Amino acid sequence: MNWGVFEGLLSGVNKYSTAFGRIWLSLVFIFRLLVYVVAAERVWSDDHKDFDCNTRQPGCRNVCFDHFFPISHIRLWALQLILVTCPSLLVIMHVAYREAKAQRRRAVEGDNCRRVYLDPGKKRGGLWWTYLLSLVFKAAVDVIFLYIFYRFYRNYTLPHVVKCELMPCPNIVDCFISRPTEKNIFTLFMVVTACICIMLSLIEATYLIGKR
């Protein structure tokens, strides 16, 4: 997808968002996505290569790495960002579908046919429900992924050294993680921004329900 198409999609999403939704979009696409693309991918690029253990027993390092890093942070974040942005695009698809349907009716009935969504700030009917469900889905995705991260990486932190005694390691070996401090900083940043996004989605959902 080129940047022109991407910008068009963002403009469409922004058009039908509330003030809270625009802040959410800025947080996701400027902070979370930009940090992921520009910095986080590079920090985790040497994950497996620089995971070093104080033994040369064949297979030990691979087994220990798989045990302590069952799923890469980068892949989890990529999946999280994809799933959390999909509902916003569904809102645009809903609007496009309704407008195309209304355009076909105008072609048959003439200009007397009522136009849909003349005021993007006012959401009603199917658009209101689609928008509300998208907010709930976005918040749920972030909550689920925060829980997954917590289960895999307790307290969202990585230690400098891990002890591994899995076969085929000959005994308890020490394994050293590459750039643990830098990775912990990025992890904390992504966790905090995800929490803020959850709060914004819930506040926006409350605002929509109260305004209806």
User: 39-42, long-range: CB within 8 Å, 24+ apart, which pairs?
Assistant: 39/186, 40/73, 40/74, 40/77, 40/186, 40/190, 41/74
User: CB–CB of 51/65 below 8 Å?
Assistant: yes
Distance between CA atoms of residues 92 and 44, nearest Å: 34
Average pLDDT over residues 95-111: 61
Is the pLDDT confidence value at 200 over 90?
yes
Please tell me the pTM assigned to this model. Answer: 0.79
C-alpha pair distances (Å), 185 with each of 39, 43, 147, 197: 12, 11, 18, 18
- Chain segment 116-144, per-residue pLDDT in tens: 544 444 555 567 788 888 899 999 999 99
Q: Which residues contact 94 (CB under 8 A, 6 or more apart)?
A: 126, 127, 130
Sign, CA dihedral 40-45-48-50, equals negative
Q: What confidence category does residue 153 fall into, taking pLDDT thresholds of 50, 70 and 90?
A: confident
- Tokens representing residue 168 in the block: 């085929």
Characterize the bridge pairing of strands 161-164 and 52-53: unpaired
> Looking at 28-42, 161-175, 177-191, which range is the least confident one?
28-42
pLDDT score for 36: 84
| Domains of the chain, first to last | 3-211 (1.20.1440.80)
% of the chain beyond a pLDDT of 70: 76
User: CB–CB of 175/64 below 8 Å?
Assistant: yes
